[in-house]
Amino acid sequence: GRYGSSGGVASTTMNVTNTPAKDLAYTNCGYCSPTDIRNFLVPGSKFAYALIADAFVLTLAAHDAIPNGQLGLNAIQRRYAKVSTGDAISVSRFVPPEDFNLALLTLDLEFVKKGTKEEQVDAVSLANQVRKRFANQIMTTGQKVTLEYHGNGYIVTVNQATVEGQEKSNVERGMVSADTYIIFEAANSSGIKIVNQREAASSSIFRQKEFNLESLGIGGLGAEFSDIFRRAFASRVFPPHVTSKLGIKHVKGMLLHGPPGTGKTLMARQIGKMLNGKEPKIVNGPEVLSKFVGETEKNVRDLFADAEQDQKTKGDQSELHVIIFDEIDAICKSRGSTRDGTGVHDSIVNQLLTKIDGVESLNNVLLIGMTNRKDLLDEALMRPGRLEVQVEISLPDENGRLQILQIHTNKMKENSFLSPDVNLQELAARTKNYSGAELEGVVKSAVSYALNRQLSMDDLTKPVDEESIKVTMDDFLHAINEVRPAFGASTDDLERCRLVFLFFVYN
């Protein structure tokens, strides 16, 4: 098959043992006896590969110290295969398919001995080492590899292994070659600083590898965020020569749409906090609109000026310019739809289209539009090459509502103003169809009940006993009654329909 085959050899079972010598623990090879290795040789080559536990592929080497039927794996390989020495493991011959060379390999680094050590790693030099030391080895995403470099032991996790022209699939694997482009990543907490990754400068688009949405005050939008980042930014981490090899065209625009109060503007404000380098330009439609003739078009043009300048002076090396256009419906209503007869909107839309995909089109721009009225937008804006990726920011589900409630009650909880009887899980269950903004409203309303209890109506000057302010479950239940969701009551709509239906049928 496309991902290699066992070459007709059924999988056998071998017994796991340790790597035969200490210095072999960093080769990433598996070791077997000189007799056993014959079962794994790729016909017509000197290489032997084994698919281990159906999970990853190791280059096998023969070693006199290993008895027949045994397979020597180092501690990290054993841990990844979930076996210990003495365990049985399934092993089968692996024959690499044609065109199996990796175009891109993304590796996450951490120290074997996690501690307080700090180290700078030169990406160019380490990449050369990896290509040399693991030449012809096969890397599978998720696989863990040990690596020694400048006296330090590293555990390397394969985050991405992309073969030229290979479609995305669950099993991503390929062979390390002299042409494999390698990007290194390291978590902030790892103590490893990767320097000199010049070519892959854009891979550091993100401030941290795992950004925490909750700490940014955004709840229930994890899935949407992964979508956004996969579609908008994933291709941007590739250096230009790799993108051209893989035939990737960057997404230049995306549209976030969904009902009011679901956190679109909130996201727009926070996306900048996740991006390295240039802050995104954030504008909103009404603010760009000008009553002066031609002024709005100029405002739109100005938005792109920096990106154009960068493209001119730096070309392919230009960094990414993110432009966030909140309430884009205000200026991008369908052409010809507005009745003022001036055609002003038409020329604004045209101006924007020109900037996105016209003759002077830019490759270093990502335009993110946001709206709660997608229906009003000019169709042309959503065609391929424009705001082509559309992500719906919908009302939060129960889990999302819980996250949002947690975010908005966090402060009072920290300061012990939240009564222990408050059950956020239950509140989340009872607030079907509430938007994020409405949930925030519920919290505000609950707080107002609690504060009100502390005020003496007879004497508003009486000092408030701060210590005893407690927002209780009761306050929240009152608040739910007070703040109703715009999108229908929280009772089960379907159930009600059914009852009404039965009523008509039987009467």
Ligand X SMILES: Nc1ncnc2c1ncn2[C@@H]1O[C@H](COP(=O)(O)OP(=O)(O)OP(=O)(O)O)[C@@H](O)[C@H]1O
**Cβ contact 397:220 at 8 Å:** yes
265 contributes a contact to ligand X by CB under 6 A:
yes
Q: Which residue is nearest to ligand X (CB)?
A: 436
81 vs 324, which CB is nearer to ligand X?
324
Count residues binding ligand X (CB under 6 A).
18
Q: What is the rounded CA–CA span in Å between residue 254 and residue 323?
A: 10
262 contributes a contact to Mg ion by CB under 5 A:
no
**Cβ contact 347:393 at 8 Å:** no
328 contributes a contact to ligand X by CB under 6 A:
no
Chosen residue from 63, 252, 264, 432 binding ligand X by CB under 6 A:
264
260 contributes a contact to ligand X by CB under 6 A:
yes
**Cβ contact 197:204 at 8 Å:** yes
378 binds, among ligand X, Mg ion, none (CB under 5 to 8 A by kind): none
Chosen residue from 140, 141, 202, 265 binding Mg ion by CB under 5 A:
265
**CB burial class (10 A; 0-12, 13-18, 19+) of residue 216?**
middle
User: Of the listed pieces 164-172, 246-254, 263-271, 313-321, which binds ligand X according to CB under 6 A?
Assistant: 263-271
Chosen residue from 266, 332, 427, 471 binding ligand X by CB under 6 A:
266
Residues β-bridged to residue 50: 58, 93
The least CB distance from residue 218 to ligand X, in Å, is: 5
Binding to ligand X by CB under 6 A, coded x per residue (else -) over 337-376, reads -----------------------------------x----
Chosen residue from 108, 172, 310, 440 binding ligand X by CB under 6 A:
440
The least CB distance from residue 279 to ligand X, in Å, is: 18
Structure tokens at 143: 């696989």
202 binds, among ligand X, Mg ion, none (CB under 5 to 8 A by kind): none
485 contributes a contact to ligand X by CB under 6 A:
no
The number of angstroms, rounded, from the C-alpha of 13 to the middle of its chain's C-alpha atoms is 38
262 contributes a contact to ligand X by CB under 6 A:
yes
Q: Are strands 12-18 and 30-32 parallel, antiparallel or unpaired?
A: unpaired
263 contributes a contact to ligand X by CB under 6 A:
yes
**Cβ contact 338:348 at 8 Å:** no
> CA nearest 123: which of 199, 194, 205, 207?
194
User: Of the listed pieces 196-204, 254-262, 273-281, 291-299, which binds ligand X according to CB under 6 A?
Assistant: 254-262
User: Of the listed pieces 82-90, 260-268, 329-337, 443-451, which binds ligand X according to CB under 6 A?
Assistant: 260-268
Longest dimension (CA), the chain: 96
431 binds, among ligand X, Mg ion, none (CB under 5 to 8 A by kind): none
72 contributes a contact to ligand X by CB under 6 A:
no
369 binds, among ligand X, Mg ion, none (CB under 5 to 8 A by kind): none
Q: What is the rounded CA–CA span in Å between residue 362 and residue 314?
A: 12
**Cβ contact 393:263 at 8 Å:** yes
> CA nearest 351: which of 291, 305, 282?
305
The DSSP call for residue 209 is: S
27 contributes a contact to Mg ion by CB under 5 A:
no
263 binds, among ligand X, Mg ion, none (CB under 5 to 8 A by kind): ligand X
> CA nearest 409: which of 420, 394, 399?
420
436 binds, among Mg ion, ligand X, none (CB under 5 to 8 A by kind): ligand X
Q: Which residue is nearest to Mg ion (CB)?
A: 265
All residues at 6 or more sequence positions from 252 whose CB lies less than 8 Å from its CB, including other chains: 356, 357, 361, 362, 363, 365, 366, 367, 385, 386, 388
The least CB distance from residue 286 to ligand X, in Å, is: 11
List the beta strands (DSSP E) in 45-143: 49-52, 56-62, 70-73, 88-93, 102-111, 119-122, 138-140
For residue 503, CA distances in Å to 488, 491, 496 come to 21, 18, 11
The least CB distance from residue 287 to ligand X, in Å, is: 13
The least CB distance from residue 402 to Mg ion, in Å, is: 23
219 binds, among Mg ion, ligand X, none (CB under 5 to 8 A by kind): ligand X
74 vs 265, which CB is nearer to Mg ion?
265
**CB burial class (10 A; 0-12, 13-18, 19+) of residue 323?**
buried
The least CB distance from residue 277 to ligand X, in Å, is: 24
Q: Scanning residues 399 to 428, which ones bind ligand X (CB under 6 A)?
A: 404, 407
Binding to ligand X by CB under 6 A, coded x per residue (else -) over 206-225, reads -----------xxxxx----
Binding to ligand X by CB under 6 A, coded x per residue (else -) over 94-133, reads ----------------------------------------
174 vs 261, which CB is nearer to ligand X?
261
Q: What is the rounded CA–CA span in Å between residue 46 and residue 475?
A: 74
Q: What is the rounded CA–CA span in Å between residue 392 and residue 297?
A: 28
DSSP secondary structure string, 391-416? EE-----HHHHHHHHHHHHHHHHHTT
The least CB distance from residue 212 to ligand X, in Å, is: 13
Q: What does the binding site for ligand X look like in residue numbers (CB under 6 A)?
A: 217-221, 260-266, 372, 404, 407, 436-437, 440
Q: What does the binding site for Mg ion look like in residue numbers (CB under 5 A)?
A: 264-265
